Amino acid sequence: MKDVLAWSQPRLTLWFAASVILLVSVFVIQSHGASRAMVVSAPAAQVSEARLAKGTEGLLRQTAEHLSRMQRGESIGGFPGFEPPDDDDKYRRKIKDQSYTAEEVNHWVKEINNFLDQVVKKNPGLSLEKILQRQGLTRAQINNFIEALQEVHYRADLMKGFGVNEETIETLTGLMKTLRIPIWTF
């Protein structure tokens, strides 16, 4: 019997302490209103970490649209795919058949570079994966976005010297390294 009491004593003390904490929490929430209860549920550091810089979502959307142009207009990372104008059948076929010129690829990659450069400046130190997570993308959408970027880099690099400027590729390579995206090397 003495062993049972010795074992249950710490449990009663723990139960009592938990009850007191619960009662104090309820009192604090009631005395400060429901809006304060929301603050108690998530530490401020976690909330601020989860935020992206203003304008990042638009830049990611524009990046996805330009990546989509080289992916037959498909959706990239859950963002809407690129849709050429309805009245331009030639451009629509160019996107669907992937029959664009190296000069067009150079232009699109320059645009991607511009958007990613702004993303990097607005969210210093974050990897693209972390940025996309904070944007709310699923693991599959993040992988899709990153793989599309890797493929665009690979294709543009193949066209280097045939209309895609070396500087354009070097800029994209640098941005991908900054965003911690591995470069395809096959």
**Comparing 10 with 106, which gets the higher pLDDT?**
106
Is it the case that residue 47 has pLDDT exceeding 50? no
Q: What is the model's pLDDT at position 50? A: 60
Residue-wise pLDDT for 97-155, tens only, equals 778 899 999 999 999 999 999 999 999 999 999 999 999 999 999 999 999 999 999 99
Residues β-bridged to residue 79: 76
For 104, counting Cβ atoms within 10 Å of its Cβ (0-12 exposed, 13-18 middle, 19+ buried), the class is: middle
Residue-wise pLDDT for 55-90, tens only, equals 999 999 999 999 999 888 899 999 988 887 777 788
Within 10 angstroms of residue 112's Cβ, the number of other Cβ atoms is 26
Rounded to the nearest 10 degrees, the angle between the axes of helix 128-135 and helix 139-158 is: 140
- Sort residue 160 into left (φ over 0), alpha (ψ -120 to 50) or beta: beta
Q: Where are the beta strands (DSSP E) in 40-86?
A: none
Give the CA dihedral 167, 172, 178, 184, nearest 10 degrees.
-120
Within 10 angstroms of residue 149's Cβ, the number of other Cβ atoms is 23
